[in-house]
Structure 1
């Protein structure tokens, strides 16, 4: 029976229990909780320093009203990076390759930013639908286009994260399969492809971190428009 390359993106089950729930809960038990002691071990100190640095960079474009989201956005960043990185380990499952999971993360957060904008400054939020100085005949068309661009934001966030991770994992599997098949016949090409796969794995590690940062950064920009 020939297996499809896309079978790796199917949600695995164990005795009828979907393992995606375990994969989603795993990041929360991997990181040690901070303590109230003055001195912690090196790992907790490094973790706290990285989180503080990222939070400072994240809050730079935000006004004071958006600083309430700091804990949520930082937690989301760590959550996505951990899921993306764990998916690069052999025989593991990456939940962020599922469009449903990414849309489940993007849609509520995007909807919250829209609701905040409508509640705090409805005139400014509705003003984005019609640029200033628009000619009269183009007003209905521009309103429709801007409304569609607003509603498509969560879909763009989910598809971007899903497509980048899926393409990288699929390319790694294609190259590794080709290297395994060519090893008995053309060892030189197989070794060369193995070296390329190592470089591609390093690239995928960078992509896993960058895509998580882009996801949170775009959510920050959407929040900045509404606070």
Structure 2
């Protein structure tokens, strides 16, 4: 039972070809492409409005130097949001449940924000390791703690996204299995469990959207410290 429960998180392959590549390309095929016409359809207009509002909200507290990150972070937000939402559909593999993929997205972007801070304002960037007015006895300990907290940021980004999506998928799998088992024996309990499953699915839709937003929001906060 344990093996079959966690098999849904193993990367599928067909004829030796990893299907995760198709899963990663699927969101870009589903997202509508803006046209050069004066008037576009409602889906494209809604998508443009959402991206504009999200970008404005995300980059409002940032300096002008950080606004050049808007296309990258907005595209990554749409990409993660689409992957998370598609993963809630049956028989669709969710790439964002893989820690390797999430760390592959988090580590380079986090490292880019750190390198930008070291290049543009090294004094301010290094000042985070030792706040002003720190007692002399606490200086070595504080530097070690701040260094660990700096290097743990990309790990926290990847683990947060992976853990939340994996836990949600496991709960949905367990409760749906309980519904099928209880249906012939206790129909009333099975119906109540199915209602709980519906509520949990609605919660997971919200989690899928929130976790994509939190991933980009934390990256923007790291960027804000270094621009």
Normalising by the residue count of structure 2, what TM-score does the alignment of the two structures yield?
0.98
1:195 paired residue number: 195
1:44 paired residue number: 44
Number of residue pairs aligned between Structure 1 and Structure 2: 227
**Cα shift at 1:3:** 4.1
Q: CA RMSD in A?
A: 1.0
**Cα shift at 1:121:** 0.2
User: Once the two structures are superposed, what CA deviation does each residue of 1:125-152 show, in whole Å capped at 9, x if it has no partner?
Assistant: 0000011111111111110110010001
**Cα shift at 1:50:** 1.1
Structure 2: how far apart are the matches of 1:42 and 1:190? 40
Provide the secondary structure at the position in 1 that maps to 2:39. coil
1:33 paired residue number: 33
**Cα shift at 1:4:** 2.8
- 1:225 counterpart = 2:197: no
2:161 paired residue number: 161
Q: Report which stretch shifted further, 72-81 or 53-62.
A: 53-62
Q: Structure 1 segments of 4 or more deviating over 3 A?
A: none
Structure 1: how far apart are the matches of 2:187 and 2:178? 11
Structure 2: how far apart are the matches of 1:155 and 1:93? 23
Q: Report which stretch shifted further, 204-213 or 128-137.
A: 128-137
Normalising by the residue count of structure 1, what TM-score does the alignment of the two structures yield?
0.98
**Cα shift at 1:2:** 7.3
Q: Report which stretch shifted further, 28-37 or 135-144.
A: 28-37
Structure 2: how far apart are the matches of 1:2 and 1:196? 23
Q: Report which stretch shifted further, 99-108 or 21-30.
A: 21-30
1:182 paired residue number: 182
- The unaligned stretches of length 5 or more in structure 2 are none
